[in-house]
Structure 1
Amino acid sequence: MSLFKKLFGKENQEEKVQSDNSDFKTPQKSDWKSFEELFEQNAGLSFEKQMILGDVIGSNSWQFDMGSGTISFGDALRFPVQVIGSLSFNDSSWMWGWANAKSGIPENLLVQSNELKKLGEQKQIPELTDGHFSVEEGFEHKMGMAACGLFKSKAYYCANYGQGTLVVTIDSKAIPDIDKNRYEKMLTSFPQLISNIDINHKAAFINYLIDREFQLKEENDKIEGSKDGKTITGEFDDMGRLKNLGGKI
Protein backbone atom coordinates (compact mmCIF):
# COMPACT_ATOMS: atom_id res chain seq x y z
CA MET A 1 0.00 0.00 0.00
CA SER A 2 1.36 3.43 -0.92
CA LEU A 3 2.02 6.08 1.70
CA PHE A 4 -0.62 8.27 0.08
CA LYS A 5 -3.28 5.55 0.41
CA LYS A 6 -2.25 4.96 4.03
CA LEU A 7 -2.73 8.65 4.75
CA PHE A 8 -6.14 8.85 3.12
CA GLY A 9 -7.51 5.28 3.20
CA LYS A 10 -10.53 4.22 5.26
CA GLU A 11 -8.46 1.57 7.00
CA ASN A 12 -6.73 4.19 9.20
CA GLN A 13 -9.45 5.44 11.52
CA GLU A 14 -7.18 7.93 13.31
CA GLU A 15 -6.43 10.04 10.24
CA LYS A 16 -8.69 13.01 9.53
CA VAL A 17 -9.40 13.74 5.90
CA GLN A 18 -10.97 16.77 4.34
CA SER A 19 -11.54 17.21 0.61
CA ASP A 20 -12.58 19.96 -1.74
CA ASN A 21 -14.03 20.01 -5.24
CA SER A 22 -10.57 19.65 -6.78
CA ASP A 23 -9.89 16.27 -5.14
CA PHE A 24 -7.17 17.75 -2.93
CA LYS A 25 -7.13 16.34 0.58
CA THR A 26 -5.66 17.43 3.89
CA PRO A 27 -4.01 14.51 5.70
CA GLN A 28 -2.45 13.97 9.06
CA LYS A 29 0.78 12.01 9.31
CA SER A 30 0.46 8.30 10.00
CA ASP A 31 1.92 6.80 13.16
CA TRP A 32 5.60 6.02 12.51
CA LYS A 33 6.64 2.45 13.19
CA SER A 34 10.37 2.51 12.37
CA PHE A 35 13.30 4.87 12.62
CA GLU A 36 13.29 5.37 8.84
CA GLU A 37 9.63 6.41 8.93
CA LEU A 38 10.37 8.86 11.74
CA PHE A 39 13.22 10.30 9.69
CA GLU A 40 11.16 10.51 6.48
CA GLN A 41 8.35 12.29 8.28
CA ASN A 42 10.64 15.06 9.54
CA ALA A 43 13.50 15.37 7.04
CA GLY A 44 12.02 17.98 4.68
CA LEU A 45 11.18 20.64 7.22
CA SER A 46 14.23 19.91 9.39
CA PHE A 47 16.56 20.33 6.43
CA GLU A 48 14.98 23.69 5.62
CA LYS A 49 15.53 24.71 9.25
CA GLN A 50 19.20 23.81 8.83
CA MET A 51 19.49 26.20 5.92
CA ILE A 52 18.13 28.97 8.15
CA LEU A 53 20.57 28.06 10.93
CA GLY A 54 23.43 28.13 8.44
CA ASP A 55 22.50 31.68 7.46
CA VAL A 56 22.44 32.70 11.14
CA ILE A 57 25.76 31.21 12.26
CA GLY A 58 27.71 31.77 9.05
CA SER A 59 31.30 30.52 9.19
CA ASN A 60 31.67 30.96 12.96
CA SER A 61 33.27 28.07 14.82
CA TRP A 62 31.35 26.38 17.62
CA GLN A 63 31.99 25.90 21.33
CA PHE A 64 29.93 23.70 23.64
CA ASP A 65 29.55 24.59 27.32
CA MET A 66 28.07 21.60 29.14
CA GLY A 67 27.81 23.53 32.40
CA SER A 68 25.44 26.13 30.96
CA GLY A 69 23.90 23.74 28.44
CA THR A 70 24.67 26.03 25.51
CA ILE A 71 26.47 26.05 22.19
CA SER A 72 28.14 29.23 20.97
CA PHE A 73 29.08 30.41 17.50
CA GLY A 74 31.57 33.23 17.66
CA ASP A 75 31.23 35.85 20.40
CA ALA A 76 27.64 36.95 19.83
CA LEU A 77 25.59 33.78 19.32
CA ARG A 78 24.76 31.45 22.21
CA PHE A 79 21.90 28.94 22.10
CA PRO A 80 20.46 26.43 24.62
CA VAL A 81 20.70 22.81 23.48
CA GLN A 82 19.56 19.29 24.12
CA VAL A 83 22.19 16.56 23.68
CA ILE A 84 20.88 13.74 21.48
CA GLY A 85 24.00 11.62 21.06
CA SER A 86 27.34 11.35 19.29
CA LEU A 87 28.95 9.67 16.31
CA SER A 88 32.46 8.24 16.56
CA PHE A 89 34.59 8.55 13.42
CA ASN A 90 36.94 5.82 14.67
CA ASP A 91 34.48 2.96 14.29
CA SER A 92 31.41 4.63 12.69
CA SER A 93 29.30 4.02 15.77
CA TRP A 94 26.48 5.95 17.40
CA MET A 95 26.16 6.45 21.16
CA TRP A 96 23.06 7.93 22.72
CA GLY A 97 23.45 10.77 25.17
CA TRP A 98 21.57 8.77 27.79
CA ALA A 99 24.05 5.89 27.36
CA ASN A 100 27.20 8.03 27.59
CA ALA A 101 27.66 7.88 31.35
CA LYS A 102 31.41 8.65 31.20
CA SER A 103 30.78 12.11 29.77
CA GLY A 104 28.79 13.26 32.79
CA ILE A 105 26.11 14.97 30.73
CA PRO A 106 23.58 16.63 33.08
CA GLU A 107 20.11 15.10 33.04
CA ASN A 108 18.50 18.40 32.09
CA LEU A 109 20.36 18.21 28.76
CA LEU A 110 19.13 14.66 28.10
CA VAL A 111 15.37 15.21 28.21
CA GLN A 112 14.89 14.65 24.48
CA SER A 113 17.43 11.81 24.34
CA ASN A 114 15.58 10.00 27.13
CA GLU A 115 12.22 10.68 25.49
CA LEU A 116 13.45 9.08 22.25
CA LYS A 117 14.56 6.03 24.24
CA LYS A 118 11.11 5.82 25.84
CA LEU A 119 9.42 6.03 22.44
CA GLY A 120 11.76 3.35 21.14
CA GLU A 121 10.81 1.04 23.99
CA GLN A 122 7.12 1.61 23.33
CA LYS A 123 7.47 0.99 19.59
CA GLN A 124 10.28 -1.62 19.84
CA ILE A 125 12.69 0.31 17.61
CA PRO A 126 16.30 -0.82 18.14
CA GLU A 127 17.90 2.40 16.82
CA LEU A 128 16.24 4.25 19.70
CA THR A 129 16.90 1.72 22.47
CA ASP A 130 20.39 0.30 21.77
CA GLY A 131 22.86 2.51 23.60
CA HIS A 132 25.82 2.00 21.26
CA PHE A 133 25.81 0.50 17.75
CA SER A 134 27.44 0.69 14.31
CA VAL A 135 25.82 2.98 11.74
CA GLU A 136 26.06 3.91 8.08
CA GLU A 137 27.31 7.21 6.70
CA GLY A 138 24.95 10.11 7.35
CA PHE A 139 23.22 8.55 10.36
CA GLU A 140 24.03 11.53 12.59
CA HIS A 141 22.12 13.83 10.24
CA LYS A 142 19.19 11.43 10.04
CA MET A 143 19.02 11.38 13.82
CA GLY A 144 19.34 15.15 14.03
CA MET A 145 16.53 15.72 11.53
CA ALA A 146 14.29 13.16 13.24
CA ALA A 147 14.80 14.73 16.68
CA CYS A 148 14.49 18.28 15.36
CA GLY A 149 11.15 17.51 13.75
CA LEU A 150 9.72 15.34 16.50
CA PHE A 151 10.41 17.93 19.21
CA LYS A 152 9.68 20.93 16.94
CA SER A 153 13.10 22.39 17.65
CA LYS A 154 14.43 25.39 15.74
CA ALA A 155 17.34 23.37 14.35
CA TYR A 156 19.84 20.61 15.00
CA TYR A 157 23.62 20.84 14.78
CA CYS A 158 26.38 18.29 14.25
CA ALA A 159 29.37 19.62 16.17
CA ASN A 160 32.52 18.02 14.74
CA TYR A 161 35.16 17.67 17.46
CA GLY A 162 37.76 15.81 15.42
CA GLN A 163 37.24 12.24 16.61
CA GLY A 164 33.50 12.42 16.19
CA THR A 165 30.39 14.57 16.06
CA LEU A 166 28.10 15.69 18.87
CA VAL A 167 24.47 15.96 17.77
CA VAL A 168 22.34 18.55 19.54
CA THR A 169 19.00 20.24 18.98
CA ILE A 170 18.71 23.99 19.38
CA ASP A 171 15.84 26.23 20.46
CA SER A 172 16.21 29.99 20.44
CA LYS A 173 14.10 32.97 19.43
CA ALA A 174 17.21 34.33 17.75
CA ILE A 175 16.77 31.72 15.00
CA PRO A 176 13.97 32.77 12.61
CA ASP A 177 10.99 30.52 12.03
CA ILE A 178 10.35 29.09 8.58
CA ASP A 179 8.28 31.51 6.52
CA LYS A 180 5.59 29.12 5.30
CA ASN A 181 4.42 31.68 2.74
CA ARG A 182 7.74 31.48 0.89
CA TYR A 183 7.03 28.38 -1.16
CA GLU A 184 9.98 28.89 -3.51
CA LYS A 185 12.32 27.71 -0.74
CA MET A 186 10.88 24.22 -1.16
CA LEU A 187 12.03 24.06 -4.78
CA THR A 188 15.65 24.52 -3.74
CA SER A 189 15.67 22.87 -0.31
CA PHE A 190 14.15 19.51 -1.27
CA PRO A 191 16.56 18.72 -4.14
CA GLN A 192 19.47 19.53 -1.82
CA LEU A 193 18.07 17.19 0.83
CA ILE A 194 17.73 14.17 -1.44
CA SER A 195 21.12 14.77 -3.06
CA ASN A 196 22.91 14.83 0.30
CA ILE A 197 21.33 11.92 2.18
CA ASP A 198 19.81 8.52 1.46
CA ILE A 199 16.03 8.80 1.81
CA ASN A 200 12.77 7.68 0.21
CA HIS A 201 12.13 10.67 -2.06
CA LYS A 202 8.38 10.22 -2.42
CA ALA A 203 7.67 9.63 1.26
CA ALA A 204 9.83 12.58 2.27
CA PHE A 205 8.13 14.85 -0.28
CA ILE A 206 4.62 13.95 0.92
CA ASN A 207 5.56 14.58 4.54
CA TYR A 208 7.30 17.83 3.63
CA LEU A 209 4.12 19.08 1.95
CA ILE A 210 2.12 18.08 5.04
CA ASP A 211 4.49 20.02 7.30
CA ARG A 212 4.18 23.02 4.96
CA GLU A 213 0.37 22.74 5.36
CA PHE A 214 -0.45 21.91 1.73
CA GLN A 215 -3.44 19.95 0.53
CA LEU A 216 -2.40 16.94 -1.54
CA LYS A 217 -3.48 15.07 -4.64
CA GLU A 218 -1.88 11.98 -6.23
CA GLU A 219 -2.22 10.96 -9.87
CA ASN A 220 -0.16 7.92 -10.88
CA ASP A 221 3.42 8.85 -9.93
CA LYS A 222 2.73 12.57 -9.49
CA ILE A 223 2.16 14.24 -6.12
CA GLU A 224 0.69 17.74 -6.23
CA GLY A 225 0.44 20.14 -3.32
CA SER A 226 -1.93 23.11 -3.26
CA LYS A 227 -2.10 26.07 -0.87
CA ASP A 228 -3.42 29.60 -1.26
CA GLY A 229 -3.71 29.20 -5.02
CA LYS A 230 -0.09 28.04 -5.30
CA THR A 231 0.97 24.55 -6.39
CA ILE A 232 4.10 22.43 -6.07
CA THR A 233 4.36 19.19 -8.03
CA GLY A 234 6.76 16.27 -7.78
CA GLU A 235 6.97 13.48 -10.34
CA PHE A 236 8.54 10.16 -9.36
CA ASP A 237 9.78 7.01 -11.08
CA ASP A 238 8.73 3.44 -10.25
CA MET A 239 11.29 3.36 -7.42
CA GLY A 240 9.84 6.49 -5.82
CA ARG A 241 12.79 8.64 -6.89
CA LEU A 242 12.19 12.25 -7.86
CA LYS A 243 12.24 12.90 -11.62
CA ASN A 244 10.86 16.43 -11.83
CA LEU A 245 10.00 19.14 -9.35
CA GLY A 246 8.18 22.34 -10.22
CA GLY A 247 5.44 24.67 -9.19
CA LYS A 248 3.27 27.69 -9.80
CA ILE A 249 4.29 29.99 -6.99
Structure 2
Amino acid sequence: MTTKDDWKSFEELFEQHAGLSFEKQINFSEVIGSEPWQFDMGTGSISFGENLSFSVQIIGSLSFNDNSWMWGWANTKSGIPEHLLQKSNALKKLGEEKQIKELIEAHYSVDPNFEHKIGMIACGVFNANSYYCANYGQGTLVVIIDDKSIPKINMDNIERVMTSFPEFITTMDINHKSAFKNYLLDRGFQIKVEASKIEGLKNAKTITADFDTLDRLKNLNGTL
Protein backbone atom coordinates (compact mmCIF):
# COMPACT_ATOMS: atom_id res chain seq x y z
CA MET A 1 0.00 0.00 0.00
CA THR A 2 1.37 3.41 -0.98
CA THR A 3 2.05 5.79 1.88
CA LYS A 4 3.20 9.38 2.10
CA ASP A 5 6.91 10.07 1.66
CA ASP A 6 9.01 11.47 4.48
CA TRP A 7 8.99 15.24 3.95
CA LYS A 8 12.25 17.20 4.11
CA SER A 9 11.23 20.78 3.30
CA PHE A 10 8.49 23.33 3.90
CA GLU A 11 7.20 22.89 0.35
CA GLU A 12 7.05 19.11 0.71
CA LEU A 13 5.12 19.51 3.96
CA PHE A 14 2.73 21.84 2.15
CA GLU A 15 2.30 19.34 -0.70
CA GLN A 16 1.39 16.63 1.81
CA HIS A 17 -1.54 18.53 3.30
CA ALA A 18 -2.72 21.12 0.78
CA GLY A 19 -5.28 19.11 -1.19
CA LEU A 20 -7.51 17.97 1.65
CA SER A 21 -7.03 21.21 3.58
CA PHE A 22 -8.30 23.17 0.57
CA GLU A 23 -11.38 20.98 0.39
CA LYS A 24 -11.95 21.50 4.11
CA GLN A 25 -11.78 25.24 3.45
CA ILE A 26 -14.47 24.99 0.78
CA ASN A 27 -16.56 23.03 3.28
CA PHE A 28 -16.05 25.65 5.99
CA SER A 29 -16.87 28.52 3.60
CA GLU A 30 -20.22 26.87 2.93
CA VAL A 31 -20.88 26.83 6.70
CA ILE A 32 -20.05 30.49 7.43
CA GLY A 33 -21.26 32.01 4.16
CA SER A 34 -20.64 35.75 3.95
CA GLU A 35 -21.07 36.45 7.66
CA PRO A 36 -18.53 38.94 9.12
CA TRP A 37 -16.02 37.60 11.64
CA GLN A 38 -15.18 38.74 15.14
CA PHE A 39 -12.36 37.42 17.34
CA ASP A 40 -12.48 37.28 21.13
CA MET A 41 -9.04 36.77 22.68
CA GLY A 42 -10.55 36.25 26.12
CA THR A 43 -12.63 33.26 25.11
CA GLY A 44 -10.26 32.12 22.37
CA SER A 45 -13.09 32.02 19.86
CA ILE A 46 -14.00 33.41 16.47
CA SER A 47 -17.61 34.14 15.59
CA PHE A 48 -19.39 34.67 12.29
CA GLY A 49 -22.59 36.64 12.54
CA GLU A 50 -24.79 36.03 15.57
CA ASN A 51 -25.15 32.25 15.49
CA LEU A 52 -21.74 30.75 14.71
CA SER A 53 -18.85 30.64 17.19
CA PHE A 54 -15.80 28.34 17.19
CA SER A 55 -12.81 27.80 19.46
CA VAL A 56 -9.49 28.44 17.73
CA GLN A 57 -5.77 28.00 17.97
CA ILE A 58 -3.70 30.98 16.84
CA ILE A 59 -0.97 30.05 14.35
CA GLY A 60 0.45 33.45 13.41
CA SER A 61 -0.16 36.63 11.46
CA LEU A 62 0.72 38.31 8.18
CA SER A 63 1.45 42.03 8.07
CA PHE A 64 0.29 43.89 4.97
CA ASN A 65 2.76 46.73 5.64
CA ASP A 66 5.83 44.73 4.66
CA ASN A 67 4.32 41.36 3.69
CA SER A 68 6.00 39.64 6.62
CA TRP A 69 4.97 36.61 8.65
CA MET A 70 5.17 36.38 12.45
CA TRP A 71 4.50 33.17 14.35
CA GLY A 72 2.03 33.36 17.20
CA TRP A 73 4.65 32.09 19.64
CA ALA A 74 6.88 35.02 18.65
CA ASN A 75 4.22 37.72 19.01
CA THR A 76 4.91 38.55 22.65
CA LYS A 77 3.55 42.11 22.41
CA SER A 78 -0.03 41.02 21.72
CA GLY A 79 -0.51 39.19 24.99
CA ILE A 80 -1.79 36.01 23.41
CA PRO A 81 -2.68 33.45 26.12
CA GLU A 82 -0.36 30.46 26.07
CA HIS A 83 -3.23 27.97 25.74
CA LEU A 84 -4.10 29.52 22.35
CA LEU A 85 -0.55 28.92 21.09
CA GLN A 86 -0.28 25.17 21.59
CA LYS A 87 -0.43 24.36 17.87
CA SER A 88 1.85 27.27 16.93
CA ASN A 89 4.42 25.99 19.41
CA ALA A 90 3.97 22.45 18.13
CA LEU A 91 4.82 23.57 14.59
CA LYS A 92 7.93 25.29 15.91
CA LYS A 93 8.97 22.05 17.62
CA LEU A 94 8.35 20.16 14.39
CA GLY A 95 10.53 22.67 12.55
CA GLU A 96 13.31 22.24 15.09
CA GLU A 97 13.18 18.46 14.70
CA LYS A 98 13.35 18.69 10.90
CA GLN A 99 15.44 21.89 10.70
CA ILE A 100 12.85 23.72 8.60
CA LYS A 101 13.68 27.42 8.77
CA GLU A 102 10.16 28.59 7.86
CA LEU A 103 8.84 26.89 11.00
CA ILE A 104 11.66 28.12 13.24
CA GLU A 105 12.32 31.75 12.28
CA ALA A 106 10.15 34.11 14.29
CA HIS A 107 9.52 36.89 11.77
CA TYR A 108 10.42 37.09 8.07
CA SER A 109 9.30 38.35 4.65
CA VAL A 110 7.14 36.00 2.61
CA ASP A 111 5.67 35.54 -0.87
CA PRO A 112 1.97 36.01 -1.71
CA ASN A 113 -0.43 33.36 -0.32
CA PHE A 114 2.06 32.29 2.35
CA GLU A 115 -0.61 32.70 5.05
CA HIS A 116 -2.78 30.16 3.23
CA LYS A 117 0.11 27.73 2.94
CA ILE A 118 0.66 27.97 6.69
CA GLY A 119 -3.06 27.54 7.31
CA MET A 120 -3.28 24.46 5.11
CA ILE A 121 -0.20 22.92 6.71
CA ALA A 122 -1.55 23.50 10.22
CA CYS A 123 -4.99 22.21 9.26
CA GLY A 124 -3.46 19.02 7.88
CA VAL A 125 -0.80 18.38 10.51
CA PHE A 126 -3.34 18.68 13.33
CA ASN A 127 -6.26 17.15 11.39
CA ALA A 128 -8.37 20.24 12.11
CA ASN A 129 -11.71 21.00 10.48
CA SER A 130 -10.51 24.22 8.89
CA TYR A 131 -8.18 27.17 8.98
CA TYR A 132 -9.23 30.78 8.63
CA CYS A 133 -7.39 33.93 7.54
CA ALA A 134 -9.05 36.79 9.43
CA ASN A 135 -8.31 40.08 7.67
CA TYR A 136 -8.18 42.88 10.25
CA GLY A 137 -7.15 45.68 7.89
CA GLN A 138 -3.42 45.93 8.62
CA GLY A 139 -2.89 42.22 8.28
CA THR A 140 -4.34 38.74 8.58
CA LEU A 141 -4.62 36.54 11.66
CA VAL A 142 -4.30 32.84 10.82
CA VAL A 143 -6.17 30.41 13.07
CA ILE A 144 -7.19 26.78 12.89
CA ILE A 145 -10.62 25.59 13.92
CA ASP A 146 -11.61 22.15 15.16
CA ASP A 147 -15.26 22.08 16.14
CA LYS A 148 -17.71 19.17 16.09
CA SER A 149 -20.43 21.40 14.67
CA ILE A 150 -18.52 21.73 11.38
CA PRO A 151 -19.49 18.88 9.02
CA LYS A 152 -16.66 16.48 8.26
CA ILE A 153 -15.48 15.92 4.70
CA ASN A 154 -17.54 13.18 3.04
CA MET A 155 -14.73 10.84 2.04
CA ASP A 156 -17.12 8.79 -0.11
CA ASN A 157 -17.98 11.81 -2.25
CA ILE A 158 -15.29 11.04 -4.79
CA GLU A 159 -16.79 13.42 -7.32
CA ARG A 160 -15.68 16.33 -5.10
CA VAL A 161 -12.05 15.53 -5.95
CA MET A 162 -12.78 16.22 -9.60
CA THR A 163 -13.90 19.77 -8.85
CA SER A 164 -11.84 20.67 -5.80
CA PHE A 165 -8.35 19.86 -7.08
CA PRO A 166 -8.54 21.78 -10.38
CA GLU A 167 -9.86 24.78 -8.45
CA PHE A 168 -7.04 24.48 -5.93
CA ILE A 169 -4.18 24.47 -8.44
CA THR A 170 -5.48 27.67 -10.03
CA THR A 171 -5.02 29.48 -6.72
CA MET A 172 -1.69 28.13 -5.41
CA ASP A 173 1.82 27.57 -6.74
CA ILE A 174 2.54 23.90 -5.98
CA ASN A 175 3.80 20.68 -7.54
CA HIS A 176 0.57 19.32 -8.99
CA LYS A 177 1.61 15.68 -9.10
CA SER A 178 2.88 15.51 -5.53
CA ALA A 179 -0.12 17.41 -4.18
CA PHE A 180 -2.57 15.18 -6.04
CA LYS A 181 -0.88 12.00 -4.81
CA ASN A 182 -1.09 13.15 -1.20
CA TYR A 183 -4.66 14.36 -1.64
CA LEU A 184 -5.78 10.92 -2.83
CA LEU A 185 -3.91 9.24 0.03
CA ASP A 186 -5.63 11.52 2.54
CA ARG A 187 -8.95 10.53 1.02
CA GLY A 188 -8.22 6.82 1.39
CA PHE A 189 -7.55 5.92 -2.23
CA GLN A 190 -5.40 3.02 -3.36
CA ILE A 191 -3.03 4.63 -5.84
CA LYS A 192 -0.67 3.67 -8.62
CA VAL A 193 2.01 6.23 -9.48
CA GLU A 194 3.76 6.30 -12.85
CA ALA A 195 6.09 8.82 -14.47
CA SER A 196 3.30 10.92 -15.96
CA LYS A 197 0.17 9.42 -14.44
CA ILE A 198 -1.53 8.73 -11.12
CA GLU A 199 -4.45 6.33 -10.84
CA GLY A 200 -6.65 6.25 -7.76
CA LEU A 201 -9.17 3.54 -6.83
CA LYS A 202 -11.82 3.71 -4.13
CA ASN A 203 -15.25 2.08 -3.78
CA ALA A 204 -14.90 0.60 -7.28
CA LYS A 205 -14.50 4.10 -8.69
CA THR A 206 -11.38 5.28 -10.52
CA ILE A 207 -9.73 8.68 -10.95
CA THR A 208 -6.88 9.14 -13.42
CA ALA A 209 -4.64 12.21 -13.60
CA ASP A 210 -2.13 12.85 -16.39
CA PHE A 211 0.82 15.21 -15.93
CA ASP A 212 3.35 16.87 -18.22
CA THR A 213 7.13 16.73 -17.81
CA LEU A 214 6.97 19.56 -15.26
CA ASP A 215 4.41 17.63 -13.17
CA ARG A 216 1.62 19.99 -14.14
CA LEU A 217 -1.87 18.53 -14.44
CA LYS A 218 -2.95 17.97 -18.05
CA ASN A 219 -6.07 15.84 -17.71
CA LEU A 220 -8.26 14.59 -14.88
CA ASN A 221 -10.76 11.87 -15.64
CA GLY A 222 -12.96 9.65 -13.53
CA THR A 223 -14.95 6.44 -13.85
CA LEU A 224 -17.57 7.37 -11.28
**How far, CA to CA, are the matches of 2:102 and 2:195 in structure 1?**
34
> Which residue is equivalent to 2:150?
175
Cα-Cα RMSD: 0.7
Are 1:216 and 2:197 matched, yes or no? Answer: no
**How far, CA to CA, are the matches of 2:153 and 2:179 in structure 1?**
18
List alignment gaps of at least 5 residues for structure 2: none
**How far, CA to CA, are the matches of 1:115 and 1:121 in structure 2?**
10
What letter corresponds to residue 242 of structure 1 in structure 2?
A: L
**Aligned 1:186-197 pairs, distance under 5 A:** 186-197=161-172
List per-residue Cα deviations over 1:179-203 (Å, max 9, x = no partner): 0110010011001110001111000
**How far, CA to CA, are the matches of 1:152 and 1:180 in structure 2?**
14
> Which residue is equivalent to 1:76?
51
> Which of 1, 5, 10 is the equivalent residue of 1:35?
10
What letter corresponds to residue 45 of structure 1 in structure 2?
A: L
* TM-score under structure 2 length normalisation: 0.99
**How far, CA to CA, are the matches of 1:50 and 1:215 in structure 2?**
24
Are 1:59 and 2:45 matched, yes or no? Answer: no
List alignment gaps of at least 5 residues for structure 1: 1-25
List per-residue Cα deviations over 1:94-127 (Å, max 9, x = no partner): 0000000000000000000000001111111100
Runs in 1 of length 4+ with deviation above 2 angstroms? none
**How far, CA to CA, are the matches of 2:90 and 2:7 in structure 1?**
15
> Which residue is equivalent to 2:201?
226
**How far, CA to CA, are the matches of 1:210 and 1:72 in structure 2?**
32
List per-residue Cα deviations over 1:178-229 (Å, max 9, x = no partner): 0011001001100111000111100000000100110111333011000111
> Which residue is equivalent to 1:141?
116
What letter corresponds to residue 83 of structure 1 in structure 2?
A: I
> Which residue is equivalent to 2:89?
114
**How far, CA to CA, are the matches of 1:245 and 1:193 in structure 2?**
13
> Which residue is equivalent to 2:221?
246
**How far, CA to CA, are the matches of 1:36 and 1:182 in structure 2?**
28
The percentage of aligned residue pairs carrying the same residue is: 66
**How far, CA to CA, are the matches of 1:193 and 1:89 in structure 2?**
23
**How far, CA to CA, are the matches of 2:100 and 2:116 in structure 1?**
18
List per-residue Cα deviations over 1:37-94 (Å, max 9, x = no partner): 1110000000000000000000000000010000000000000000000000110100
* TM-score under structure 1 length normalisation: 0.89
